[in-house]
């Protein structure tokens, strides 16, 4: 079936309610567009698990602070439609800002405290409230779904999971593995901003994660020692300006005194214009 593009909340609700009334399960993939194979992997996962798949494309202004790249954020609806259709998406929801926020400035926001406070929350203090608010709105529009999110934005995934649990959304959140370029760089819509020289430097983030994982594999359990190893590697790359490195509990994103159980290594750095993030996980028995 060819992909159907929908721009209004009312039509999307009507279509998805009809699917569920007929006994179907819906998979949803929220995105901001400018899709790449990382997004396609989420859509393919949703396609494999569900009867109908909806992908949303909405560049959400609530996620951008003053001075961030809202106006310059890359957009390509024709490309996105082609990629989504090839990945098996049935409905592409492409609302306008006026459709999503018809009453002007948003007076109601969703904040997930603690989980959103550190790491990305320090650098971008309003970001996760914007994410949580728009995802809550999208889930209210779509109704009961399986929602698919990439692990590249690991803190975002943790925020959404906690929001869904705390507010009892009829949604199952599915985290999907990071999709990488051949040299290890995590796929991101912002990679388009990298110059050729910066693109060669960018995989230093993956290298730092590998160094941290190797230290843990070698028996290191002090999170400060692990992050020092990661930081030193990034700081050896002249084109990368380190923002943070962290070794945290994967569920709470808090830094433990000693690493154990499910651990996530987080990293962020400025490489030229784009600010890049990455992460990887390990289980310590």
The helix or strand, by DSSP H or E, that contains position 98, with its residue range, turns out to be helix 97-100
**Residue 235 Cα to chain centre, angstroms:** 25
Q: Which of 39, 79, 146, 285 is catalytic?
A: 39
Which tokens belong to 282? 């390990």
Which tokens belong to 136? 């809550």
CB atoms within 10 A of CB 147: 24
Which residues, listed in sequence order, are joined to residue 246 by a DSSP beta bridge? 266
CA angle centred on 190, ends 188 and 192, rounded to 5°: 100
Among candidates 49, 57, 3, 48, which has minimal Cα distance to 29?
Answer: 57
Task: Round to whole Å and give the CA distance between 264 and 255.
Answer: 10
CB atoms within 10 A of CB 200: 14
Task: Round to whole Å and give the CA distance between 240 and 234.
Answer: 7
Is 39 a catalytic site residue?
A: yes
Among candidates 14, 248, 257, 271, which has minimal Cα distance to 117?
Answer: 248
State the catalytic residues: 39
């Amino acid at each position: 079936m060819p992909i159907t593009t929908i721009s209004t909340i009312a039509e999307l609700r009507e279509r998805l309610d009809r699917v569920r009334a007929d006994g179907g399960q819906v998979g949803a993939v929220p995105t901001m567009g400018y899709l790449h194979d990382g997004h396609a992997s989420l859509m393919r996962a949703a396609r494999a698990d569900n009867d109908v798949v909806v992908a949303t494309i909405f560049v959400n202004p609530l996620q951008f602070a003053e001075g961030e790249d809202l106006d310059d954020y890359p957009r390509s609806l024709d490309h996105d439609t082609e990629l989504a259709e090839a990945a098996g998406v049935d409905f592409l929801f492409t609302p306008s800002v006026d459709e999503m926020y018809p009453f002007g400035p948003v007076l109601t926001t969703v904040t997930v405290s603690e989980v959103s406070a550190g790491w990305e929350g320090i650098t971008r203090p309003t970001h996760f409230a914007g994410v949580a608010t728009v995802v809550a709105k999208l889930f209210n529009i779509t109704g009961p779904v399986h929602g698919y999110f990439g692990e590249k934005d690991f803190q975002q995934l943790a925020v959404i999971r906690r929001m869904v649990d705390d507010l009892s959304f009829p949604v199952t959140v599915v985290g999907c593995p990071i999709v990488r370029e051949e040299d290890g760089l995590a796929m991101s819509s912002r990679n388009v901003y990298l110059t050729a020289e910066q693109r060669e430097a960018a995989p230093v983030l993956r290298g730092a994660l590998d160094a941290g994982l190797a230290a843990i594999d070698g028996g290191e359990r002090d999170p400060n020692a692990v992050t020092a190893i990661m930081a030193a590697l990034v700081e050896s790359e002249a084109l990368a300006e380190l923002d943070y490195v962290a070794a945290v509990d994967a569920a709470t994103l808090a830094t433990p005194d000693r690493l154990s159980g499910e651990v996530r290594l987080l990293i962020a750095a400025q490489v030229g214009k784009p600010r890049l993030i990455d992460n990887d996980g390990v289980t310590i028995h």
